[in-house]
A = this chain, B = another copy of it.
Amino acid sequence: MKIKAEGTRAMERSRLFYLVADGLGDRPVAQLGGRTPLEAAATPALDRLAAEGITGLVDPFAPGVRVGTDVGHLCLLGYDPTAVYTGRGPIEAVGAGLNLEAGDVAFRCNFATVDESWRIVDRRAGRIREGTAELAQVLHGMELSGGVTALFKEATEHRAVLVLRGSELSPDVTDSDPGPNGEDRKVQTVRDTISDPSAECTAAERTAALVNEFLTKAYRLLSAHPLNRRRVEKGLPPANMVLTRGAGIMPELRKVTETYGLRGAVVAAEDTVLAIGRMAGLDALTNCRMTANLDTDISEKAQVALSLLADHDLVLVHVKGPDLAGHDNQPLNKVAIIEKIDRLAALVLDGAPAGTLFAVASDHSTPCEYRDHSADPVPVLLRGPGVRSDGVERFGERACAAGGLGRLRGREFFLTMMDLLGVTPKYGS
């Protein structure tokens, strides 16, 4: 593949294989003799990449700020989350298969069971799995005040997404979902979260009223739905209400594929990551052999990645496992999944075209003993054409702290890769 820029410059464009190990970073673990899971794991392929390449530490957003998987991945794809991220809603809605437009306000939803006074009986409607598509159908396309339309789609199990489409909508509204311990509490009236009497506040007030209008109509439509009547007859809790949370506005998201003139793909099992990839313009690939769990089929991911590298400039492969093991405080499982990730790297290293740029990174640390995402920076490496190697011989949190990249932010790390691919514009002349 050749690109031509100003004048006569012409160079071989490099491909990028971008391996993202979710929640990879950790802290010293007593059970591992004071090593981190990455330090304790046998990782010959990652160590080889580190030794041949350049390493460093990356703060996904900024030092000291811990991030979610969504924000972490936005940063790893070069986005500024303060400009594009207001809440999880739009990502979930894209993940559920809706095509969002800039300005849409989206919510994560649960189907729930409420009584006549809207007191919550079951926040998940008995973890309903069957018939949610039918229920969603009667809510989808609902006309609301002021020319606003509600789009509604079921997601996995009792989950769903709501999108409000119209003018002057705002994500600055509260949740109707009272939260994890919400049983016996009432469905919350949605309010705006901005008290300032500005134009944006008006949009937030208006949006809050629209959600409340949607909930009233949804309760009526769902209560009357034959599927719910049958559930009641069977003694099952009816899915007669929707709880909303995580409001976010769909940003004007410039696709990285357009910004850099690339063709890209993401290989993952997790909906969040697939959705962010799609929003960034990447082809999203998954299949039933890939799971967002410890049992994911690593060689399947490697094979799919290798076939994509034939006609894509950027192939991001995501592996969820290290994050799950971190949340569950299972250091040995984390070591095991990291060793699987090393085999994935080895397979791609064997099969990738010459000149492929290898990048290994993570969206955040998930230290086992902390059982949640932390702000510890994550180790990263780059290996390929043009890379200034450093003296680091191993891929690990402490080894990479001495790396030649120093300490970067996720967005800067992404720009560095784009620069190595030779696709960035020049600032000035």
Which residues of A come within 8 Å of B, CB atoms? 5-7, 9, 11, 27-28, 36, 57, 61-72, 74, 81, 85, 88, 180, 246, 367, 369-376, 386-391, 397-398, 401-404, 406-409, 411-419, 422, 424, 426-429
| Chain B residues near A407 (CB-CB < 8 A) | 406-408
C-alpha spacing A408/B375, complex, angstroms? 14
A–B complex contacts, Cβ < 8 Å, 23 sampled:
A7-B180, A9-B372, A11-B369, A27-B386, A27-B388, A62-B415, A64-B411, A64-B414, A64-B416, A64-B424, A65-B424, A65-B427, A66-B426, A68-B428, A70-B429, A367-B386, A373-B426, A374-B386, A374-B419, A376-B388, A388-B398, A401-B403, A402-B404
Q: Which of A7, A81, A388 has the most CB of B within 10 A?
A: A388
Residue from the list B5, B64, B85, B371 in contact with A9, Cβ < 8 A: B371
| Chain B residues near A409 (CB-CB < 8 A) | 63
C-alpha spacing A265/B66, complex, angstroms? 25
C-alpha spacing A389/B36, complex, angstroms? 11
C-alpha spacing A412/B406, complex, angstroms? 16
C-alpha spacing A389/B403, complex, angstroms? 15
Tell me the minimal C-beta distance from A125 to chain B in angstroms: 21
* Chain B residue at minimum C-beta to C-beta distance from A108: B429
One complex includes copies of this chain to the number of 2
C-alpha spacing A367/B388, complex, angstroms? 11
C-alpha spacing A48/B411, complex, angstroms? 36
Residue from the list B81, B374, B406, B424 in contact with A428, Cβ < 8 A: B81
| Chain B residues near A71 (CB-CB < 8 A) | 427-428
* CB pair A427 B388 closer than 8 Å: no
C-alpha spacing A374/B421, complex, angstroms? 10
C-alpha spacing A337/B62, complex, angstroms? 35
* CB pair B88 A428 closer than 8 Å: yes
* Chain B residue at minimum C-beta to C-beta distance from A10: B371
* Chain B residue at minimum C-beta to C-beta distance from A54: B401
* CB pair B419 A375 closer than 8 Å: yes
| Chain B residues near A28 (CB-CB < 8 A) | 386-389
Besides A7-B180, A61-B427, A66-B426, 6 new A-B residue pairs in contact (Cβ under 8 A), listed by A number: A62-B415, A64-B413, A70-B428, A246-B429, A388-B397, A406-B407
| Chain B residues near A413 (CB-CB < 8 A) | 63-64
User: Given A57-B406, A64-B418, A386-B369, are A427 and B7 also a contact pair (CB < 8 Å)?
Assistant: no
* CB pair B11 A371 closer than 8 Å: yes
User: Given A11-B371, A388-B376, A412-B64, are A406 and B404 also a contact pair (CB < 8 Å)?
Assistant: no
Q: Which of A67, A372, A428 has the most CB of B within 10 A?
A: A428
| Chain B residues near A386 (CB-CB < 8 A) | 27-28, 367, 369-370, 374
* Chain B residue at minimum C-beta to C-beta distance from A404: B401
Tell me the minimal C-beta distance from A70 to chain B in angstroms: 5
* CB pair B415 A370 closer than 8 Å: no
* CB pair B390 A401 closer than 8 Å: yes
* CB pair A63 B27 closer than 8 Å: no
C-alpha spacing A68/B27, complex, angstroms? 35
* CB pair B406 A401 closer than 8 Å: yes
| Chain B residues near A424 (CB-CB < 8 A) | 64-66, 375
C-alpha spacing A422/B88, complex, angstroms? 23
User: Given A372-B5, A398-B404, A419-B376, are A426 and B367 also a contact pair (CB < 8 Å)?
Assistant: no
| Chain B residues near A68 (CB-CB < 8 A) | 426-429
C-alpha spacing A350/B61, complex, angstroms? 37
* CB pair B63 A408 closer than 8 Å: yes
* CB pair A375 B416 closer than 8 Å: yes
* Chain B residue at minimum C-beta to C-beta distance from A408: B63
* CB pair B419 A401 closer than 8 Å: no
* Chain B residue at minimum C-beta to C-beta distance from A62: B412
C-alpha spacing A366/B148, complex, angstroms? 53
| Chain B residues near A373 (CB-CB < 8 A) | 426
C-alpha spacing A374/B424, complex, angstroms? 9
